[in-house]
Amino acid sequence: MFTEFEAAPPPDGPQLPPHVHLVRPPGTAEDWTMPQDWERFTDEEHRVWDLLFARQQERLAGRVVRAFAEGLEMLRLSRPGIPELGELNDRLHRRTGWEVVAVPGLLPDDVFFAHLAARRFPAGNFIRRADQLDYIEEPDVFHDVFGHVPMLANAAVADFMQALGGAGLSALASGDIHRLSRLYWYSVEFGLAREDGALKIYGAGLASSFEEAGYALDSPLPRRKPFDLRTVLRTRYRSDALQQGYFIVDSFDGLLAEIEAADLDGLYEEAEGQPDLSPAD
């Protein structure tokens, strides 16, 4: 999605990354979805998935919340090769009513949040090259499916994501999308949870990153704070560096309840009268 952390450059600005589009690409539907066309993935692309999966599963041992590991198992994502979305959706939809849809790359905010509100998660229909295992500028199918989809098998997280979709559409209409983007960033992408007395990963940006999956829990550099919605909505972030701070939730049911009960419009208005915060503060 195009937000403060992944803003599309102007037409006369720098060249866009290959999977960022200012207009809907040919061959995509009105909602920017496209057939996965799973058969077109090459043996090399399936090999890249397997390499990423194997090393990330080892990296996450003991570091990720139970819901993530349970989602991997239930959705059978450990099978070799890039998952075929039809098979994946059969299992995911039966579990929580969600499905994964193939898209050409990053989506405009209105399209992205409309998908979430309808319990559809957009996944980039491409995978990084073998020389990009550690970093790719745009989220690919590994980030989107391995990082995000296991948590969508958890009922509370599934409902939270749908709630974010509706909240995102409302924030776009009111001009507060930069605030809602911070909530998405510090929960869905880079959230930590306290489980059995220990800090664990649940955010997709952490679960799919070899470097940051270690840094987030082990490094003395970032600040780690209890999740507080008012603080999150005021806290800036960067997408091009390791995070300077993380927010910790105590439970996904509690996170869902807090968002469902929140007067987000009132919190946006309150935040406008206060300075932004640095995640390192």
> How much is the pTM?
0.92
CA angle, 65 then 152 then 138, to 5°:
90
Judged by DSSP in three states, 235 sits in: strand
Confidence (pLDDT) at 207 = 97
Decide if 24 is inside a domain.
Answer: no
Instruction: Give domain status of residue 32, yes or no.
Output: no
Q: Is 208 a catalytic residue?
A: yes
Q: Which of 143, 181, 187, 212 is catalytic?
A: 143
Q: What is the mean pLDDT of each run of 10 residues along the chain (281 residues)?
A: 39 57 91 97 97 96 97 92 97 98 96 98 96 84 97 98 98 97 98 97 97 97 97 94 96 97 97 94 81
User: Can 189 be counted among the known catalytic residues?
Assistant: yes
Q: Annotated catalytic, 19?
A: no
Closest CA to 150 of 46, 101, 78: 78
Catalytic residue among 99, 115, 187, 189: 189
Residue 238 lies in a domain: yes
Question: Does residue 14 fall inside a structural domain?
Answer: no
Q: Which of 21, 208, 209, 212 is catalytic?
A: 208
**Cα–Cα distance measured from residue 280 to residue 165, given in angstroms and rounded to the nearest whole number:** 28
pLDDT score recorded for residue 15: 54
Long-range CB pairs of 223-229 (<8 Å, 24+ gap) are 223/279, 223/280, 223/281, 224/192, 224/199, 224/248, 226/250, 227/186, 227/187, 227/191, 227/255, 229/183, 229/258, 229/259, 229/262, 229/267
Domain interval for residue 62 = 38-260
Residue 270 within any structural domain of the chain: no
Count of domains in the chain? 1
The CATH number of residue 193's host domain is 1.10.800.10
pLDDT at 2: 38
Q: How far is CA 63 from CA 39, 52, 221, 255, in A?
A: 34, 17, 18, 20
Judge whether 143 counts as a catalytic residue: yes
* Catalytic residue chosen out of the listed positions 19, 21, 115, 148: 148
